A and B are shown apart, each in its own frame.
Chain A
Amino acid sequence: MSGEAESILKQRAEALALTDQSAQVSDHVLVLFLRAGQIYGIRVGEVEGGARLRDLSVVPGGPSWIVGAVQHRGRVLSLIDLPGFWGQETKGAADLPSYVVLTNRSRQVGILVEDLMGLHNIDAAPVPYEGVAKIGIADVARLRKRPVLVLSARSLFSDPRLAS
């Protein structure tokens, strides 16, 4: 396609299209939450929303890391507990107060949180971390000297247990 033709088409298309504001948000802004003594972060572009945990339904015969499911904006949303997902013993996950919805294209999953810490601008410089590497963790950032494990939706959904 010629440059001129592309330019004309682009002008026409821009007149027709809406711009997506969300794509312009900084990559260093994370939604932070606390779970089992660890702070986790999710890039704001990968968070669809969150809610208080209400009306949790048990998944009969489901794996232990799927704590249950809820109706979230018209869809069935699985709620997972990160420590359980990584094979650690967890108790009381069903009593956690809220969840954050992690999204990647059409896939969504709810992550149970103990304490939602809100949006934070995070220092993106690499931070040494001696914990066990876990699937779904893309980065380690820092919040006032505490390590923040940054989740990646793409990485998490690449796990066969969550892949479509």
Chain B
Amino acid sequence: MDDAIRQVLNIFQDELRENSLAITDALIQIERADAAGRKTLMKEVFRHAHTVKGNAGSFGLQDLEELAHAIETALTPFRDGQKKPTPGIIPTVLEALDRGAKRVAQAMAGNDEPDPVIQSLAAKLLNPAAAATPNPPPSAPPPVEKPKQEEVRTKEETTGVHRRRAEDEGTGEVSGVQPGGGGQGAQTEFIRVSMARLGALDRQLDDLREVRSALEHHSESARRLYWGLEATLASQVDETVRDFVKSLRDQVQVLFRGMSNDVGELSSKLSEADDELRGLRMIPVRGILAPLKRSIWEHAHSAGKQGRFEMSGADVALDRKLLEELKDPLMHLARNAVDHGLETPEERKRAGKPAEGLIWVVVEQRGSTVFITFADDGRGVDVVKVRARAIERGVLSSEDAAKLTEDGVRELLFSSGFSMAQSLSKTSGRGVGLDVVRENIGRLGGKVSIRSTLGKGTQFLVEIPLTLATTQALLVEAAGTVLALPIVSVTASTYLMSDGAKAASKVDLNGQILQIHSFADVLGLQGADASKSNFPVIVLSDAGRKIAFRVDRLLGEREVVVRPIPPELTAVPHLTAAAALGDGRLVFILNAKALLEAAGGVTPEARAEKISAKKRIVVADDSITTRSLHKQVLESAGFSVRTASSGEDAFRILISEGADLVVSDVNMPRLDGLGLTRKIRKERRLSALPIILVSSLDSEHDRKNAEEAGASAYVTKQEYQKGELLRLVKGFLFL
């Protein structure tokens, strides 16, 4: 298809989306409206349907044009508002709108063939008998998508933006009108700008930052030149040139002062431009809340319930990326509210409630945090039943369940695999809803909690940082590399002073003794200086687990601008994003959970569990006798042992099965113990594995080789006979 035509179809697709949203909104409200209200809402429906019909005709999409016409025809008897549309019509119209969106997408893909489904829907709408029969609502139709900003260039405009008047916005509301903004009918004109344009602007700002860096560099050169000339004047200078050098010095001074001022001014302007651009990317949360109205209505109807959705604070603006990430969790909460919150109309009447249940969202911004309350007036959480279900499902023992507070019991609802549903439905019952909600919101740096009153309703409280664009991070340096840790993951930081020549290996955190791990080693960074006996330590935590890490330097807390990382970097387990430091450098923001896992962090409970489970040791030796001996010694001590006759075999076992420790001979053919050690250290997920090399060679040179290869310990055959191997194994495995 011609690119030009595709561009214009893009605009139609965009407008169709908004028209559909407006029609949906109006039809849902019609059920509750009185006659006058229905008449007004019908007027909106017809206006938008007419627009769809006209546009479809322009593009020669005859089937879509006829569908729009069928919608008008089907709704004509109800246009005056005196009667409510018969029950089957609204779901069919909604289904027709969804199909219309697909039809346009097909047209953009070059498919000009009429859509038989659209033709069938049009026929259904035109057939009064079919329209009178209640249709089951479509199963989980795709929600009407968020408004997508597309640009178009007109002959009149050279700025490349598309202007729309506020009253033409799809909601039918005159949004964006300033209070007291000029009398009745006053409208604020909006401009639509594509995200691609904003991205281009962002990149240009980055180019300007590079220019700033270059200017700083030149300014610094000028400053050095000034001091050079100053030094020259202070030394023996021939009188014939003194005046010249002095004049030059003065001019250079003016130059570098001027450049410094300009750099400062440029920095300030760049910072302002950054803030403005960030503001442009903010979109009202209404964009993701509005589609919930339809979703809740349809879902409730399909479940034989009645549900109404209200929202407040929908004008709070969030970063576009954040909004995209919030869509799914909020949809989960909405479906959860219908499935588990709302009662049937009969149940509600018996409880003295209106037949129609209410689900509402309140959005508030306080400082740099957004609070979203997602609530329903349904049956609330029955703590007794949840406790019983937890015991029945084996999530908790009876004793543990009895110890839980009511809040603790409600928290169980966020556990993976836990569900209160009696049976599976399309959307509930598998216990994969609320745990995903918590995980998704956690990924945004936020948290979600639950409050409930039996018989009255339930509230989910979501707190998230206002924008993803910046975050507070602790910068540290390890092996010469600067890294960033989300401040929410950092429990403590301190500086350890050794009381001897040997560096401390543990740190006391409020009575809890934590083993210290090398940050550089866990990340596989080369060049860490392990010789210092005094060093900074940071303690990271995640879901109750804590690990202490040794770093080379603490560089302080900073608010950093977050940049997403490309797919090849998201595959690196420790990385979540990158941040731009003001001087143009990148620093990677690390994932605390992945770091803890890599370092073997466990909760106290899991540690106890882990200790009681057998530790797995891989023994590598080409001598069957030695292998058998090691196996016997270690198995007698309660370990689980896998043997390998070569370095290659040992490595294969480690990759496929993992282990807790490796014992290896040094002298083996092909891949010897030193080679195996180096190979293990290069493998990211094995880099922290304890490795004990055993050898009959006992020279300083051999021990040094082992140390340089990365071995954790070196045991000679003589030491082995004295039980040194077992002692080391227990030490490395914290036993």
Contacts and interface: CB of A to CB of B under 8 A. Distances in A.
Contact of B155 (A1, A10, A16, A61): A16
B360 to A, nearest CB: 38
Given A9-B8, A13-B4, A13-B8, A55 B586 contact: yes
A58 interface: yes
Contacts of B154: 16
A74 B586 CA distance: 11
A15 B7 CA distance: 12
Interface residues of A, number: 40
A157 to B, nearest CB: 9
A17 B483 CA distance: 45
Contacts of B573: 61
Contacts of A164: 566-567
Contact of A76 (B565, B571, B583): B565
Contacts of A78: 566, 568-569
A2 B586 CA distance: 54
Interface stretch (B163-171, B177-185, B574-582): B574-582
Contact of B523 (A55, A61, A73, A162): A61
27 contacts: A2-B60, A6-B60, A10-B2, A10-B4, A10-B5, A13-B4, A14-B4, A16-B152, A17-B3, A18-B153, A20-B3, A55-B584, A55-B585, A59-B588, A60-B481, A60-B483, A60-B575, A62-B569, A71-B206, A74-B202, A74-B203, A75-B203, A76-B563, A107-B566, A107-B567, A109-B566, A162-B568
B702 interface: no
Given A15-B155, A18-B153, A76-B578, A9 B5 contact: yes
Interface string B515-545: 0000000011100000000000000000000
A66 B569 contact: yes
B590 A17 contact: no
Contact of A58 (B153, B199, B481): B481
A161 interface: yes
Interface string B582-599: 011111101000000000
A91 B213 CA distance: 29
B524 A1 contact: no
A74 B60 CA distance: 42
Nearest to B480: A58
Most-contacted residue by chain B among A5, A13, A20 (CB, 10 A)? A13
Contacts of B481: 57-58, 60
Interface string A48-86: 000000110111111100100111011111100000000
A60 B4 contact: no
Contact of A71 (B524, B574, B586): B586
A12 B586 contact: no
A61 B568 CA distance: 12
Contact of B586 (A1, A14, A57, A63): A57
B59 A9 contact: yes
Given A5-B60, A14-B4, A59-B572, A71 B584 contact: yes
A164 B571 CA distance: 10
A136 to B, nearest CB: 13
A54 B5 contact: no
Given A57-B585, A73-B206, A74-B199, A109 B568 contact: yes
A74 B205 contact: yes
A92 B151 CA distance: 45
B483 to A, nearest CB: 6
Contact of B59 (A1, A16, A75, A162): A1
A16 B4 contact: yes
Nearest to B112: A1
Interface in A3-44: 5-6, 9-10, 12-18, 20
Contact of A13 (B2, B524, B575, B585): B2
A5 B573 CA distance: 54
A6 B525 CA distance: 60
Sort A-B residue pairs by CB-CB distance and give the 3 closest, nearest first: A13-B4, A74-B203, A1-B60
Given A1-B59, A61-B573, A107-B566, A13 B7 contact: yes
A125 interface: no
Contacts, number: 122
A6 B5 CA distance: 9
Interface of A: 1-2, 5-6, 9-10, 12-18, 20, 54-55, 57-63, 66, 69-71, 73-78, 107-109, 161-164
B564 interface: yes
Contacts of A69: 565, 569, 578, 586, 588
B563 A59 contact: no
Contact of B524 (A6, A10, A54, A60): A60
A57 B206 contact: no
A67 to B, nearest CB: 12
A78 B580 CA distance: 14
Contacts of A54: 584
Interface string B57-84: 0111000000000000000000000000
Interface in B178-230: 199, 202-203, 205-207
A62 B572 contact: yes
A75 B563 contact: yes
Given A16-B4, A61-B575, 14 more contacts: A13-B2, A16-B8, A17-B4, A57-B578, A58-B525, A59-B588, A60-B574, A60-B590, A61-B572, A61-B573, A76-B565, A76-B566, A76-B586, A77-B566
B610 interface: no
Nearest to A57: B586
B393 interface: no
A77 B567 CA distance: 11
B684 interface: yes
A49 B404 CA distance: 60
A13 B207 CA distance: 33
Contacts of A16: 4, 7-8, 152-155
Given A14-B4, A55-B586, A74-B206, A61 B566 contact: no
B569 A57 contact: no
A68 B563 CA distance: 15
A71 B202 CA distance: 12
A78 B563 CA distance: 13
Nearest to A69: B586
A162 B571 CA distance: 10
A20 B572 CA distance: 37
A60 B155 contact: no
Contacts of B568: 66, 78, 109, 161-162
Contacts of A13: 2, 4-5, 7-8
A63 B588 CA distance: 15
Contacts of B569: 59, 62, 66, 69, 76, 78
A54 B209 CA distance: 13
Contacts of A62: 569, 572, 575
Contacts of A76: 563-566, 569, 578, 586
Interface string B1-34: 0111101100000000000000000000000000
B272 to A, nearest CB: 17
A160 to B, nearest CB: 9
A158 B505 CA distance: 46
B575 A59 contact: yes
Nearest to B2: A10
Contacts of B571: 161
Contacts of B206: 71, 73-74
Contact of A73 (B60, B207, B587): B207
